[in-house]
Chains A and B, each alone.
Chain A
Amino acid sequence: MAPTPPTDAELNTLIRARLAALGIDLDQLPPGTAPDPQTGSPGRDAVLASLRSFVRGTVATLAAYQLPTPGVTDPDVARALSQQRVPVLYPSISAQGRTS
């Protein structure tokens, strides 16, 4: 069974805790939603709202993505085969060059 999606408050705790674990204190930013007039950096509540959206969108979507395995109908086989595609940092450099 899929877990219950986190609430805003739970995500705020997650985000602050994750950043704090890396040594980043979100309270360096101004309180509330108004940006710092001098530097333009956003208020911490505005950033938290953006980061919640990022976790719910980008992070969740990438985490749920399973690479396709064309031509395979059995989902268990498809899941196993999807592990075979290697990660590449530099696609063009590792491109399979084509002979003319």
Chain B
Amino acid sequence: MTPGQPLDRSLDRRAFLARAAALATATAAGAAVALPPVATAAGPTTGGRRKNPLDHPDAYVRPRPEALADPTELTIAEAGWLIRAGRLTPEQLVEAYLDRIGAYDGVYQAFNLVLTDAARAAARDAARRPRRGVLHGIPLAIKDNYYTEGVRTTANSFLFADFVPPYDATAVARLKAGGAIVLGKTQMGPLATTRATTPAGVVTTVNAWAPTNPNTDPGGSSTGTATAVAGRMATSGIGTQTGGSITAPSNAQNLTGLKPTMGRVSAAGVIPLTYTRDHPGPLARDAKDAAIMLTAMAGGDPADPRSEGLPDVPDLIEAATPVRRGGRVRLRWNTRVGVPPTFASGTSATALARQAYLAQLAEIPGVTLVDVPLPEGWSQLTGGTFNNVRLPERSEPFMPYLRTDLRAFGVSVTSWLQGALMGGNEFITGQRAKLLLLERVLDELFDACDVVVQTDPVPFDILGLPEIAFPIGATAAGLPIGTILGGLPYAEDRLLSVVAAYQAVTDWHLRRPADPPAALAGARRAPSEAAPRLTAEQVAELTQ
């Protein structure tokens, strides 16, 4: 890696090809093997990782006045600053969130399980231990498809209703090792398919911005994590993305969600939906918090060979720190932002927000907006048929369940049966088409730009490329409008740098939803009470 440069443009083409061949061999052999580190254009990697990257000086941010008045308003960076200064304890922070959960989660229904006693014990323990960095004592919401040792992990399915994993998912273990506290497990689309419903399809979790209207889409499938963070019931959280499951709820609920490059975060200990496309990542309040979370989660893991031998994790926290020259925010790295046709066309609220966003972005020194074409065959190669190539990956690991209890798949069963019907020929054709799509994206999109605005997360989910979702506006009704930026492999640092600069000159990310009406506070809404219900046919259409 060239010091001071983002990672995406400093990777050596030949090293990638050699690694691809090695990984293919390892995958074919079914072996978890360590692969040689990728060389870079600048020579061997030096890592650039600090001894404790979570204790990075840029990770701490002096709190805003409104955050000082309410600990649940604090970002990770702000809470870390206060904890480091001895002005806030992990116990105070946990209690503040437990109070809010007690008051409002009956309406939000963001959590499947709140670990009240364990979180309090962890907070007490954190208060006694030496500080481990900015995540020390920070309460997090964990999507319920991440294994949590000794704690029920259901993926919101009848299939795993009583499953208690014997160990933590690697991502969870790393967050805890960084000092974070697991506050609870969050509601999700059944088996990570849609917005959160019961396994039978009845809508549960609501959008924190419209808590009295369950028809307002909260985004899925990492719905509960998004609602918990947006509703200030956790400082930050984690989800998984197979077809927009981090970016969609982030956009719907005014959060900054980061779907990393495939392999950047180990998926070991995550209940699979589509193993070649399941990306663990954070849903956070801003770019800095997303960088902190990803710093803790990222890195090689022998339990997930896809995560090993990749370029070293760069300094993400520095990347997410705005650069100012002469008192003016500028990009850390000059970046060409690709804008495909029709991205900002029209007069809808979304179109107007996108126009304003592009105009604001263009004013930041270092940004160059570039018109880019959609690659040839884009609609076909990223559309429903080729997206369906993922389905055998969900049926194959679930065969024992498909043989014994189809009804336990609830409203989600159809796509599992579709996967079982697809033949090997079609599956292989789909894998060939992935390479075609990748080549066209690299040659026709990224030849002209460094990052590209997205209207749909699925194409880059198919390719395993990184995406970051963040707020850029609001509708007349006050609902958030978000957008997505996508990048080259391992471009998380560049994506974070662009969003950090944008957030330094705008305040959309600082908006917070009003609390639910007092009349509803404290009451637990029954799942079937006037709630919409998704049918199996709808789920088959909507599934991630």
Q: Which residues of A pack against B, CB within 8 Å?
A: 15, 18-19, 22-26, 28-30, 35-36, 38-42, 46-47, 50-51, 54-55, 57-59, 61-63, 65, 67-68, 85-100
Contacts and interface: CB of A to CB of B under 8 A. Distances in A.
Nearest to A29: B406
B406 A41 contact: yes
A6 to B, nearest CB: 13
B399 A22 contact: yes
Interface SS of chain A: loop
Q: Which of B20, B38, B158, B436 has the most CB of A within 10 A?
A: B20
14 contacts: A23-B399, A24-B402, A26-B406, A41-B411, A42-B411, A42-B413, A47-B536, A58-B418, A62-B389, A62-B430, A89-B27, A91-B435, A95-B488, A96-B17
A100 B414 CA distance: 45
Given A93-B20, A94-B16, A39 B403 contact: no
Interface stretch (B56-64, B339-347, B461-469): B461-469
Size bracket of the B interface: 35 or more
Contacts of A100: 2, 5, 9-10, 41
A3 B455 CA distance: 40
A91 B277 CA distance: 10
Given A41-B413, A100-B5, A92 B537 contact: no
B262 A93 contact: yes
B192 to A, nearest CB: 16
B438 A88 contact: yes
A61 B388 CA distance: 11
Contacts of B540: 50
B33 to A, nearest CB: 14
A94 B462 CA distance: 13
Interface in B1-45: 2, 5, 9-13, 15-17, 19-20, 23-24, 27, 38, 41
Contacts, number: 210
A18 B418 CA distance: 11
B425 interface: yes
Contact of A92 (B262, B407, B428): B262
Contacts of A54: 388, 418, 421
Secondary structure at the B interface, as helix, strand, loop or mixed, is helix
B420 A98 contact: no
A63 to B, nearest CB: 6
Interface string B432-454: 11111110001000100000000
A28 B405 contact: yes
A89 B430 CA distance: 9
B370 interface: no
Contacts of B23: 90, 93-94
Contact of A99 (B10, B420, B422, B537): B10
A36 B409 CA distance: 11
Given A62-B389, A91-B462, A50 B435 contact: no
A54 B5 CA distance: 47
B384 interface: yes
A87 B389 CA distance: 12
A54 B418 CA distance: 7
Given A65-B429, A87-B435, A93 B535 contact: no
B408 interface: yes
B155 to A, nearest CB: 15
A98 B20 contact: no
B417 A19 contact: yes
Interface in B166-208: 198-202
Contacts of B9: 98-100
Contacts of A61: 385
